Structure 1
Amino acid sequence: MSSGMLAFLAFTPILLAGILLLGLRWPARRAMPLVFVITALIAYTGWDMSVNRILASSLQGLVITIGLLWIIFGAILLLNTLKHSGAITAIRAGFTNISPDRRVQAIIIVWLFGSFIEGASGFGTPAAIAAPLLVAVGFPAMAAVMLGMMVQSTPVSFGAVGTPIIVGVTTGLDRNAIGERMEQVGANWDQYLQLVTSEVAITHAIVGVLMPLFMVMMMTRFFGRNKSWREGLEVLPFAIFAGLAFVVPYAITGVVLGPEFPSLLGGLIGLAIVTTAARKGFLLPKTTWDFAGRDEWPSEWFGRIEMKLEDLAARPMSGFRAWLPYILVGAVLVISRVIPEVKAAFTSVGVGFSNILGEAGINAGVQPLYLPGGILVMVVIATFFIHRMQVRELTAAVKESGSVLLSAGFVLLFTVPMVRILINSGVNLSDLPSMPIAMAAWVADTVGGIYPLLAPAVGAMGAFLAGSNTVSNMMFSQFQFGVAESLGLSTALIVAVQAVGAAAGNMVAIHNVVAASATVGLLGREGQTLRKTIWPTLYYLVMAGLIALIGAYVLGLTDPLA
């Protein structure tokens, strides 16, 4: 079989997912089970994988899914707990007192608070929190959704305390093979992953510093009385200041501490710096900008808020006590990753499976306390006492979180095993390369040296289809690694821009737009949002691609495997 036919056959599951999700508009809960079955059939008939290896890969995917669902559950549970404790109400009230200028409010609430929430929770929660929060303080629902989608960019690669890197890249690459090669040059897997993390953080910092300005300019152009780009530019000094206040600690944290903390600490530090500066009037524009009166808004700007304000608990609570659970999340995460004794205690609880069904190299495990999900649940228990909650309030939060988990879990139960079959297909009876490597070889031969410019777009395509940076990294990290190796480029650099592109793809991910729209009652108008968010997405992909080209051919970046 020719390399082109092999590549096409390997690409068929991804192509099928695109046709079903986009062309036929199937929901993921219908599409992904079928894609999983087709992937298994291709692995068996086209790749000569044994039934035992296909089953082992599927079981490996299920174990990985359990860990992923544990993180999702913890993230959503903390959000719902704060909703019922009254903390979200107190946090909202604090934002409205900083500045009456809607441009300033958008930067603080969406860019900084949204980035912090992404770092702590991920999985679309920034838009789910920021959009109704913006509507609550007087933003049009459609503007709120657009802004909420735009923050699904720079912080996303390190969302949910690093899940897209820790789970997505780690399980998307052949960790065993890379680890063995790293040992041959006197290094190890952790050092390779840290190199990828550092390059992701630096690339995002360079590209993302302008995102607050773009947010404001798009808001004044599409939702302002005068439809003016210039009114957005008036806030340029403050917007750049806010961009730097986030990306500088974000990049430093990524390089020094690893993938768990950049968005979490960048958002927290940025919030402290920028809100203090805004209260003192530092770099604020001379004029105060606001939307036109509500009676002048077009009907399509309005939505029915599903997370109604009256649904939020309200009780006397200081801003510090409201924020304390998120501070605890950051503190416990840092302690559990930095202090060896604490890390050892957290990792001592877990279950692992080696050589599943006797298949060499197919391993998986779950460490419930060390995973971010366990830490988030610990903080929820602490919050119950700190916020003096009643049992019925915590019970309601658990029920709401469980219902969300069921819907997300069903799709992941098929998506992650499908990805593992693709990755583990390199062991077969026909001595063929794995499916991602087959695609990589064809792309490398066809596109050649300009590939770094296109690498972020591959990641964005995965996020667009799957609605997840993590899943995109699972699907395409090994593919990107293979292309880089075929072209003699730094594998870490190309895997890094895969993660960056996958983060940017969240701005146009259909699942995310639907989820954000649902929080403000705008379901059915997703197309209008996508037509706006495609522009910042293109900016992000072009800039990341140019950085990759410069890194590869001007700076000559390499890694131990190059």
Structure 2
Amino acid sequence: MSLSLSAFIAFIPIALVLIFMVGLRWPATRAMPLAWLVCVLIGATLWKMPAGLVAASTLSGFGSAVNVLIIVFGAVLILYTLRESGAMETISHGFTTISPDRRVQTIIIAFLFGAFIEGSAGFGTPSAIAAPLLLGLGFPALAAVCVCLILNSIPVTFGAVGTPIWFGLKNLKPVVDAAVSQGAPVASFEAFMHQVGVYAALVHAVAAILLPLFVVCFLTRFFGKNKSWAEGLGVWKFAVFAGVCYAVPYLFTAILFGAEFPSLLGGLIGLGLVITGARKKLFLPRDTWDFADRAHWEKEWLGDIEPGSNNLTPKMSQLAAWTPYILIALLLVLTRLSFLPFKGWVTSFVISFPKILGWETVNFAMKPFYLPGVVPFMLVAILTIFIHRIPGPKVALAWRDAVMKMKSPTIALLFAVAMVEILKQSGHGMAGYSSMPLTMAEFVAGLCGSLWPMAASYVGALGAFITGSCTVSNLLFADFQYGVAATTGDSHTIIVALQSVGAAMGNMICVHNVVAASATVGLTGMEGTILRRTIIPCLLYGFVAGVMGMLFIYILFPGTF
């Protein structure tokens, strides 16, 4: 079988996900199981994977998905617990008192608060939280969704305490370990992931300086009375100030501590600095910008929920409301620093299944107490019951809603990760072919050659668009990207970093996020309109990432592994 034909066949499961979810608008709960089944058939027939290997790969994928689902559940549980305690309403009310300028509100809420939520929870929660908050402040529903989706890109590579890196890139461990044993200039797989995180953070840090200003210009151009880009530029000092306040701790954290904290600490520190600056009128524009009277709004801007209809009332002090998030940040730092004893405590208990069904290459392991879903998310959710004195019925409601919220993500993730595991293990089939991702990589590398860095981030965005997740995009395409780098001679580290950046920028157009965010502001059925507004920023982001990738590989860091 020729390389072009085998690459085409290997792409079929991914193409089917695209057709099912975008063309036919199927939910992931239907699309992913069918894509998994097609992947099984291709693996068993053309790659000649034994039935036992297919079954073992599926079981390993299911187990890996459970790791992520525990994190998702813990993140959702925290949000619902804070909802029931009144803390979330208190936090939201605090934002309304900072500035009446809609441009300033966009930067603080959609960018910085969204980044903090992404760092602590991830999985589409920032847009689902920030968009209704902006709607409640009087934003048009379409504007609220668009700005939240566009700005929920910079922090996503390190969202949910770094899950897209430490879990999304886990499939690269065997090939990186093999490269290390053969003398590659990288100390270990952990060192490789750290470098990937640093290069990704460098790209995102540049975007953090540019994107908030672009978004407020986007806001004034498409939703302002005068349809003016210049009115957005009027807040450039504050936008750049906010970008720097976020980017510096974000990049500093990625370099010093790794992939788990950049978005969390960048968002938390940046939010504190910018709110303090705004209260002191630092870099605020002289004029206050607002939308036109609602009578002049276009019909498509409005959803089923009336803007500004939320009457926010603080239920406690801001310190009390923010205490759970402060505890989350503190516990994450304490349990991730190697020189403290706490990391050893939470990693000491391991659930391991080596050689699943007797297959040497198929394994699964879980460190339950090291998963952020358990410590700190579930732990803090329990502590919050006592800190905020939440009555029993409301506690029960928070836990019930969190469990109910897990139905769709569970089905989708189980089969998505199982499909990825089969794609990875297909290289051990009896046909003697390279794995499906590497087959695709060899074909694409031959087409693009040295220009691949310009295209790498768009592959990551495609993965997020298809699967609805930066993490799953990395699971799906990290092998592919690594293989292209090996074929073209580009830096493996930088190309994988561009994959991670692309998977993050894909959140702007990710079908799951668009649907979820739209539903929270009453815009169901307007997903196509939203995608038309967010696709251009996504393409521009990818161009910036590509230029920086070329700069890294050929000028600044030539010879990097």
Shorter-chain TM-score tier: over 0.9
Q: Does 1:320 align with 2:334?
A: no
The equivalent of 1:423 in structure 2 is 424
**1:324 corresponds to which letter in structure 2?**
T
Kept in 2, the 8 Å contact 1:90–1:317? The answer is yes
Q: Secondary structure at the match of 1:352?
A: strand
Aligned structure 1 segments of 4 or more residues deviating by more than 6 angstroms: 306-312
In structure 2, how many angstroms separate the alpha carbons of the residues matched to 1:308 and 1:337?
A: 41
Kept in 2, the 8 Å contact 1:493–1:557? The answer is no
Kept in 2, the 8 Å contact 1:303–1:521? The answer is yes
1:26: how far off? Answer: 1.9
1:183: how far off? Answer: 4.2
The equivalent of 2:289 in structure 1 is 289
Give CA deviations for 1:345-377 in whole Å, capped at 9, x if unaligned. Answer: 111223111111111121111222111101200
Q: Does 1:466 align with 2:467?
A: yes
Q: Secondary structure at the match of 1:210?
A: helix
- RMSD of aligned C-alpha atoms? 1.6
Q: Which runs of 5+ in 1 are unaligned?
A: none
1:310: how far off? Answer: 7.0
Kept in 2, the 8 Å contact 1:307–1:519? The answer is no
1:283-432 correspondence runs (5 A): 283-305=283-305, 316-338=315-337, 339-374=339-374, 375-432=376-433
In structure 1, how many angstroms separate the alpha carbons of the residues matched to 2:486 and 2:531?
A: 35
1:58: how far off? Answer: 0.5
1:431-446 correspondence runs (5 A): 431-446=432-447
1:84-123 correspondence runs (5 A): 84-123=84-123
The equivalent of 1:262 in structure 2 is 262
In structure 2, how many angstroms separate the alpha carbons of the residues matched to 1:248 and 1:223?
A: 31
In structure 2, how many angstroms separate the alpha carbons of the residues matched to 1:316 and 1:92?
A: 11
Q: Secondary structure at the match of 1:138?
A: coil
1:554: how far off? Answer: 1.7
**2:66 corresponds to which letter in structure 1?**
I
In structure 1, how many angstroms separate the alpha carbons of the residues matched to 2:433 and 2:440?
A: 12
Kept in 2, the 8 Å contact 1:306–1:518? The answer is no
Report the CA distance shift for 1:105/1:420 in structure 2 as closer, same or farther (over 3 A): same
**1:121 corresponds to which letter in structure 2?**
A
Give CA deviations for 1:382-437 in whole Å, capped at 9, x if unaligned. Answer: 11111111111111111111111111111111111000000111112122111111
Kept in 2, the 8 Å contact 1:119–1:161? The answer is yes
Q: Which runs of 5+ in 2 are unaligned?
A: none
Kept in 1, the 8 Å contact 2:194–2:258? The answer is yes
In structure 2, how many angstroms separate the alpha carbons of the residues matched to 1:333 and 1:183?
A: 32
Report the CA distance shift for 1:177/1:239 in structure 2 as closer, same or farther (over 3 A): same
Give CA deviations for 1:65-100 in whole Å, capped at 9, x if unaligned. Answer: 111100000011101111110001111111111111
Q: Does 1:179 align with 2:208?
A: no
In structure 2, how many angstroms separate the alpha carbons of the residues matched to 1:119 and 1:383?
A: 19
Give CA deviations for 1:296-319 in whole Å, capped at 9, x if unaligned. Answer: 22232222349997798x663110
Kept in 1, the 8 Å contact 2:352–2:364? The answer is yes
> What count of residue pairs does the alignment treat as equivalent?
557
Q: What TM-score, normalized by structure 1, do the two folds share? A: 0.96
1:555: how far off? Answer: 2.3
Kept in 2, the 8 Å contact 1:480–1:498? The answer is yes
In structure 1, how many angstroms separate the alpha carbons of the residues matched to 2:449 and 2:293?
A: 54
Q: Which moved more, 1:260-269 or 1:440-449?
A: 440-449
Q: Does 1:165 align with 2:162?
A: no
Q: Secondary structure at the match of 2:40?
A: helix
Q: Which moved more, 1:288-297 or 1:381-390?
A: 288-297
Q: Secondary structure at the match of 1:409?
A: helix
The equivalent of 2:489 in structure 1 is 488
Q: Does 1:513 align with 2:514?
A: yes
Q: Which moved more, 1:467-476 or 1:205-214?
A: 205-214
Give CA deviations for 1:202-227 in whole Å, capped at 9, x if unaligned. Answer: 11112232111111111111111111
In structure 1, how many angstroms separate the alpha carbons of the residues matched to 2:194 and 2:161?
A: 15
1:198-217 correspondence runs (5 A): 198-217=198-217
**1:318 corresponds to which letter in structure 2?**
S
1:340: how far off? Answer: 4.1
